[in-house]
Amino acid sequence: MLAGILIPLSFFLMIFGIVYLIYSTRNRERLALIEKGVDASIFLKGKEKSIPIWKILIVNLAFLLIGSGIGIFLALLITTYTALENGAVYPSIIFIMAGIGLLTGFRMAKDLEKE
């Protein structure tokens, strides 16, 4: 019973601590740069020509789903025309094709950023 309360509470505190540490460290670093007289435009560098994150997520999700669909189809073909069992073929082919899909999506997202 006690673990049912402590686990979510500790998880929430851990997430809060990480976020607090990131923001406080970033704030201290920026204040130190401002005190030294460094131009604040270095914080905006790279954001001008950046592609929106939602486009990259959609491209990666699309290739992940395409890869999973092709994996299911290939697993069906393999189990139908060979003597391999369903238990090992389906997860392995689906994960392999989903990984190939994510790799393809990553490369397409890199190409989008170049343009």
pLDDT (tens digit per residue) in 59-72: 999 999 999 999 99
Write the CB contacts of 27 (distance below 8 Å, at least 6 apart in sequence).
none
pLDDT-derived band at 95 (thresholds 50, 70, 90) equals very high
- Which residue, chain included where needed, has tokens 């790279």? 46
Using a 10 angstrom Cβ sphere, with 0-12 exposed, 13-18 middle and 19 or more buried, the burial of residue 75 is buried
Of the candidates 75, 97, 96, which has an alpha carbon nearest to the alpha carbon of residue 86?
75
In tens, the pLDDT along 30-83 reads: 888 888 887 767 666 655 567 788 888 999 999 999 999 999 999 999 998 988
